Amino acid sequence: MRRIFTLVKKSIRYIKHFGFIAFLKKAKVYMKDRVLRKKDNISYQEFVKSEQKSLNSRSKISKIKKEIEDFRYQPLISIIIPTYKTPIKFLKEAIGSIQKQFYQNFEIIIYDDASKSVEIDNYFRSIEIKNLRVFYNKKNSGISETSNNGVKESNGEYLVFLDHDDTLSPNALYEIVKVLNKNRDIDYLYSDEDKLSKKGEREDPFFKPDFSYDMLLSCMYITHIRAIKKSTFSKLHGLDKRYDGAQDWDFALRLYEKKGLFYHIPKILYHWRKTDQSTADDQSNAKSYAYKRQKELLEAHLRRSKIEAEVKEGYWQGSYKIDYKIEGSIQGEPKVSIIIPFRDQVEYLKTCIDSIKEKTTYKNYKIVLVNNQSSKKDTLDYLETLKDSKYVEILNYNRPFNYSLINNFAVKKTNSDFIIFLNSDTKIITPTWIEEMLKIAQRKDVGAVGGLLLYKDDTVQHGGIIVGLGGVAAHSHRGFDGASNGHGGLLTLTRDVSAITAACMMIERSKFLNVKGFDESLRIAYNDVDLCLRLQRIGLKSIYTPYMRIYHFETKTRKKTVGENTIDTGIFIKRWKYFLKKGDPFYNPNLTLAREDYSLRKL
């Protein structure tokens, strides 16, 4: 009964501010979220069954065939398969998956890298497929040269690279050509993928984000499917054999340098087989030669791009950290102001400040405390002890709480190069927390930077913000074990996100002022998300780094008032409705919007 009363009270308040029509739209979002929470709870096996049922239905096949007939652009696609001592069983499955394609304007180029196997030679001679041709290297030349040789023999406008033991979904080529009919300028298309177990069962799906340069620097996540415009491939002189085993990553970075256009198809179009020799199965042992070259290609990319940074090992083999050099100002290292609004709750404030003083390795910083009408004696006594500290400045803000207004007020009182917005209910974990954010925030293309925030029990509180989650916006990977890699390794990779929580956010002061700071009409909620989206609007990215970790005790410092966030929610939804409709580019549309656990959305 009490819950119903609260809902009615919030509803009346919302109608007063936004009108009845806006309330109905909000109620629709609320009900949709309730339904999603019940429905979106399926296993990947159920997802696969549903997907296969749809692709195998007569109505779906008929619809796809009709759509293909109507395509104005029907390019020949050359499927390049480099082979070397391939198990015949796997090669048959690979070729079979191509023959089952809905889109049939393709050719298959098999280029064998001197396997010198009678069994393989006999199999190749037995193949009777008119659009398949087989070629041989005279001597073993490696994956790059063999692939390049295959491309030279091809006639297609686009190339699709298929590993000799992997398979394609039957809609793979159709989905590629469907996209190309909308935009022929795309140079590189990639899709979501899963893996084939040793029993041939589909598992371990990776539902990827749209293109993220920072994530591409962290790992080669756009491997499969890989469809490349042939003219672009030729202009870049194909694959570089110096990076055999990691040649695809090198090519993608060289394409990025040339401002090539990447496109993500958010569907499972590629099935990567787990074998004893495959990196799909064991990232730590198989193809170790590939990992040795990954660091080299990243270093080469940084040199070509004139980026001063060191390439370091990431959290898992095959992942990397780009450690940017901090650019000094005339006075030395950039000055950083750490703005912390608070109202009483001195035990949390003291924990926060003590952790900054004890842990922080960066020297040129100042803590700016913004006292929002604290009245308790223990708080006032503690503030007295800080008055003579060279690291602390105390400002008084004697108006009702408005998170945006308080922080804008504080920024105007500072003259630092960079600002950190920090909640008072936090505790520093990483000693180099300022450096880790500053290295990225100083980049010209970056707006806001944040890191991994953990609850007291070491579960994830924030791993970036996903816009649209829960109907408005919510935190990525909330509730995951803080030691986990997250979905597809996302928790442990530096990457683009749509927004960062202001519980711990760094931004260059000039960039903050350029967008006029936080929107003061958003008093409580979504002001940080709104800021990040406005930064994005002027070409500045929000970046999540896993190399900065702090504890966030969340909601400890301020009690929620019934209905106070409702107004902010309404403003945000109205302002960013086009973004909400389009969907967060860094969150895959196959994943649920009802929870923060990266579970699947029911098809």
pLDDT in tens, 560-570: 443 446 789 99
Superfamily of domain 336-582: Spore Coat Polysaccharide Biosynthesis Protein SpsA; Chain A (3.90.550.10)
* pLDDT over 60 (residue 594): yes
Q: pLDDT tens-digit profile of 173-222? A: 999 999 999 999 999 999 999 999 988 899 999 999 999 999 999 999 99
Residues 196 and 270: their CA atoms lie apart, in Å, by 10
93-114: pLDDT as tens digits: 999 999 999 999 999 999 999 9
Tell me the CATH number of domain 73-285, given options 3.90.1300.10, 3.90.550.10, 3.40.50.1100, 2.40.50.140. Answer: 3.90.550.10
- List for the chain the helix, strand, coil content (%; round to 5): 40, 25, 40
- Share of residues in the chain with pLDDT > 90 (%): 84
> What b-and-e string marks burial along 100-129, b requiring 16 or more CB atoms within 10 Å of the CB?
ebbbeebbbbbbbbebebeebeeebeeeee
Locate 102 and state its tokens: 């809905």
Predicted pLDDT at 12: 73
Task: Check residue 331 and give its pLDDT.
Answer: 55
Give 74: exposed, middle or buried? Use CB within 10 Å, 0-12, 13-18, 19+: middle
- Angle of the 247-257 helix axis to the 288-304 helix axis, nearest 10: 10
**What is d(CA 108, CA 515) in angstroms, rounded to the nearest whole number?**
52
pLDDT band of residue 35 (cuts 50, 70, 90) is very low
Residue 391, helix vs strand vs coil = coil
Residue 289, pLDDT score: 75
How far CA 517 is from CA of 165, 412, 509, 580, in Å, comes to 53, 10, 9, 22
Give residue-wise pLDDT tens across range 123-137: 999 998 989 999 999
pLDDT at 481: 94
Q: For 344-362, what is the mean pLDDT? A: 96
Domains 73-285 and 336-582 share a fold: yes
Are the CB atoms for 551 and 482 separated by under 8 Å? Answer: no
Q: How far apart are alpha carbons 341 and 353 in whole angstroms?
A: 12
End-to-end CA distance of the chain: 35
- Give the confidence band of 557 by pLDDT, cuts at 50, 70, 90: very low
| CB distance 268 to 589 below 8 Å | no
Structure tokens at 59: 């109505």
| 331/265 Cα distance (integer angstroms) | 48
Which stretch of DSSP H or E encloses residue 233? helix 230-235
Q: Phi and psi (nearest 5°) for 466?
A: -105, 120
Residue 294 pLDDT exceeds 80 = yes
CA distance 55 to 62: 10
Say whether the peptide bond before residue 225 is cis (omega within 30 degrees of 0): yes
The more confident residue out of 17 and 571 is: 571
Find the mean pLDDT for residues 495-511: 98
Number of H helices, E strands in the chain: 20, 23
Which of the residue ranges 23-27, 105-109, 471-475, 588-592 would you say has the lowest mean pLDDT?
A: 23-27
| Domain definitions of the chain by residue range | 7-39, 73-285, 336-582
Structure tokens that stand for 387 in this block? 């008055």
Strands 504-508 and 495-497: unpaired
Alpha helix segments (H runs only) across 40-104:
44-56, 58-70, 88-99
The confidence band for 292, taking pLDDT boundaries of 50, 70 and 90, is: confident
DSSP state of 332: B
Task: Give the pLDDT mean for 520-529.
Answer: 96
Tokens of 190: 């990639």
Q: Count of CB atoms within 10 A of residue 258's CB?
A: 10
Overall average pLDDT of the 336-350 stretch: 96
Give 140's pLDDT tier (boundaries 50, 70, 90).
very high
H/E stretch holding 312: strand 309-313
* 489: nearest Cα among 284, 246, 281, 316: 316
Dihedral angle at the C-alpha atoms of 112, 118, 121, 126, nearest 10 degrees? -150
Q: Check pLDDT > 70 for residue 28.
A: no
Q: Note whether 164 and 81 are within 8 A (CB).
A: yes
Q: Tens of pLDDT along 442-486?
A: 999 999 999 999 999 999 999 999 999 999 999 999 999 999 999
Supply the pLDDT for residue 390: 86
Q: Is residue 330 scored above 50 in pLDDT?
A: no
Q: How far apart are CA 362 and CA 445, in angstroms?
A: 23
Whole-number pLDDT of residue 39: 52
Instruction: Indicate the pLDDT class of residue 389, thresholds 50, 70 and 90.
Output: confident
Token pair in block for residue 93: 């499955």
Q: Measured between alpha carbons, how far is 302 from 297 in angstroms, rounded to an integer?
A: 9
Residues whose CB falls within 8 Å of the CB of residue 46, separated by 6 or more in sequence, listed in order: none
pLDDT at 285: 47
Measure Cα distances from 85 to 112, 136, 164, 250 in Å: 8, 12, 10, 25
Is the pLDDT higher at 426 or at 38?
426
User: Residue 39 CB: number of other CB atoms within 10 A?
Assistant: 12
* Average pLDDT value over all residues in the chain: 91
User: Can you tell me the distance from the alpha carbon of 218 to that of 315, in angstroms, rounded to the nearest whole number?
Assistant: 10
d(Cα 479, Cα 472) in Å, to the nearest integer?
19
